[in-house]
């Protein structure tokens, strides 16, 4: 039977412990809950939805909330000069992905930038992807066979079903345009 001193002095075991301690502090992605939204800056504040386990010097463990993340850019589906904007509300679930590098200069100026600080996977380098949902927030009546742009209740939607487009509304449908062609 191996004694504890032999095991902890082993170089492989020491490397494993160093890697474990590094992995504890590594941030990659975590679920969160939107607290506030700033549409003008396209940022939000997010409370991470999983508490951190904090080990005290006496060996006891305490679950603590990670401080609210500020100025987190939120995802806007876009490309080629078009975008899809969706309202984001406090209480919406999201996934916060933490960047490999300090994003401050890129966020401020765009393009390719140098790092302002040398940091990796930091809480201040998160991006919010809104739309992931916890089980209590799942979309009811999810259409598995068509593409829909819909409200949460499912009583108003635009749907593509094969070669057909369906528009359904519990309220009014309004079409404004210089010219409206219906064939």
pLDDT above 80: residue 27: yes
Is pTM, for the whole model, over 0.85?
no
What mean pLDDT comes out for the span 50-70? 91
Which residues, 6+ apart, have CB-to-CB distance to 122 below 8 Å? 27, 98, 99, 102
- Give the pLDDT confidence of 118-173 residue by residue, as tens digits: 888 889 999 999 999 999 999 999 999 999 999 999 999 999 999 999 999 999 99
Is the pLDDT reported for residue 6 higher than 80?
no
Question: What is the per-residue pLDDT across 8-26, written as a single tens digit (0 to 9) for each?
Answer: 567 777 776 666 555 566 8
Of 125, 126, 86, 95, nearest to 32 by C-alpha is 95
Using DSSP, how many helices (H) and how many strands (E) does the chain show? 3, 12
Cα 104 to the center of its chain, rounded Å: 18
């Amino acid at each position: 039977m191996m004694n504890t001193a032999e095991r902890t002095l082993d170089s492989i075991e020491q490397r494993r412990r160093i890697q474990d301690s590094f992995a504890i502090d590594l941030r990659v992605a975590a679920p969160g809950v939107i607290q506030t939204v700033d549409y003008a800056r396209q940022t939000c504040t997010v409370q991470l939805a999983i508490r951190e386990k904090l080990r005290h010097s006496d060996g006891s463990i305490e679950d603590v909330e990670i401080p609210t993340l500020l100025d987190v850019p939120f995802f806007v589906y876009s490309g080629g000069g078009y975008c899809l904007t969706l309202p984001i509300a406090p209480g919406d679930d999201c996934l916060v992905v933490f960047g490999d590098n300090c994003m401050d200069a890129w966020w401020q100026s765009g393009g390719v930038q140098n790092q302002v600080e040398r940091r990796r996977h930091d809480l201040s380098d998160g991006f919010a992807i809104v739309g992931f949902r916890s089980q209590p927030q799942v979309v009811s009546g999810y259409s598995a066979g068509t593409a829909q742009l819909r409200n949460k209740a499912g009583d108003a939607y635009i749907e593509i079903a094969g070669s057909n487009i369906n528009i359904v509304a519990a309220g009014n449908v309004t079409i404004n345009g210089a010219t409206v062609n219906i064939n």
